[in-house]
Structure 1
Amino acid sequence: MSRPPFAPFSERDVEIVSAQLGRPARDVIGIPARCVCGAPTVVATRPRLGNGTPFPTLYYLTHPGATASASRLEASGIMAVWQAELGEDDALAAAYAAAHEQYLADRESILSVPEVEGYSAGGMPTRVKCLHALLGHALAAGRGINPIGDRALDQGDWSPEVCTCAPDQRGA
């Protein structure tokens, strides 16, 4: 299981994440999801950065192919459809609320940060706001945890099973 505690990460992992982001990676505590080549796909970030800033996004999508896929899905207007479904489908809404609670529990197991208490990511538990965050959560937590993140994975045009990493950003 990739949720906390996370497996150790390497300096090479941090270098790859930094290259993926185009800036230095901050306060990495794990790599909860990887491409088939081993490159980081999702980074886990400390809930309070070293400079004291609260950082609610525990699971941060970094893989360029995954982020581009999430962006294309967002541009397609699918989030409005899924948002409407949340209001109509009690089972979907309950599963999404449970994903929110699981996200909070994962973050709280690392560090309690009062400023972000009750806030998870991606609009959970009642809105579909950011597919990048929801896809990152789905990849980190595994299938069946975040139903909207699973949909983003299923309906996007990227797969963690097919390496699209730049040659200099491939894992070991």
Structure 2
Amino acid sequence: MDTPPPPTAPTEPTEADVAAFKQQLGRPPRGLRTIAHRCPCGLPDVVETAPRLPDGTPFPTLYYLTCPRAASAIGTLEANGVMREMSERLARDPELADAYRAAHEDYLKRRDEIEELTGFPSAGGMPERVKCLHVLVAHSLAAGPGVNPLGDEALAMLPEWWAKGPCADLCATAEGEGK
């Protein structure tokens, strides 16, 4: 990717955002708090979820990637061994490990400001390993560059997933709901 998408300010979800989410993931949102980042096409690509789902179940994943095109591209990175390579670098590079630990602490701080989930991990394998690039990229998009070094790296490896236009057709969604 030449340039990662710019950070966007979190916004309250609109009905159109919820419709896009449903189309992106094939289900309604659970625990949706805000749209944490918008794709350059304007649709949500990262949502912030509550630390507990409405039924009380703990949900430690604060930032959730919703764009299926971005998720697919990240899946390709994972299949190509990027997580393993990053985890190996963490074990050899103390500066990278310190920066990744700071990302973990940032994630926990942001989640704990909403509700503390004592004893629950942050996400994505932080701070010990890389377990899920989707979470790391979502954190980078929501928090902005420089907060999660491995999320930033993975983000820089992605193609411009928005280049083909929106991943959800809100006109089709509105027509389908009106029937």
For the criterion TM > 0.5, the same-fold answer is: yes
Task: State whether structure 2 residue 99 is matched by structure 1 residue 98.
Answer: no
The answer for unaligned runs of 5 or more in structure 1 is none
The CA RMSD measured in Å over matched residues stands at: 1.8
Deviation at 1:91, TM superposition (A): 1.0
Alpha carbons 1:131, 1:149 under 8 Å: kept: yes
Q: Give 1:132's aligned residue.
A: 134
Q: Percent identity?
A: 48
Distance 1:12 1:115, change over 3 A: farther
Aligned position for 2:124: 122
Q: Is the CA contact (8 Å cut-off) linking 2:68 and 2:167 kept in structure 1?
A: no
Change (3 A) 1:93 1:28: same
Where do 5+ consecutive residues of structure 2 fail to align? 1-6, 172-179
- Per-residue CA deviations over 1:81-111 (Å, capped at 9, x if unaligned) read 1111101111110110000000000000111
Which residue matches 1:151? 153
* Contact 1:37/1:163, CA 8 A, preserved across alignment: no
Alignment of 1:16-27 (within 5 A): 16-27=20-31
- TM (norm. structure 1) is 0.89
Q: Equivalents in 2 of 1:42, 1:125: separation in Å?
A: 21
Quote the Cα distance in structure 1 between the aligned partners of 2:70 and 2:43: 12
User: Is the alpha carbon distance of 1:87 and 1:115 closer, same or farther for their aligned partners in structure 2, counting shifts above 3 Å?
Assistant: closer
User: Could you tell me how far apart the structure 2 residues matched to 1:164 and 1:149 are?
Assistant: 23
> Are 2:65 and 2:134, in contact at CA under 8 Å, matched by a contact in 1?
yes
Displacement after TM superposition at 1:64 (Å)? 1.0
Aligned to 2:166: 165
| 1:78, distance to aligned residue in structure 2 (A) | 1.4
Match of 1:39 among 43, 51, 54: 43
Q: How far off is 1:113 after superposition? A: 2.5
CA shift at 1:24, angstroms?
1.1
The one-letter code sitting in structure 2 at the alignment partner of 1:108 is: D
Structure whose CA Rg is larger:
2
2:111 equivalent in structure 1: 107
- The answer to which of 10-19 and 98-107 deviates more is 10-19
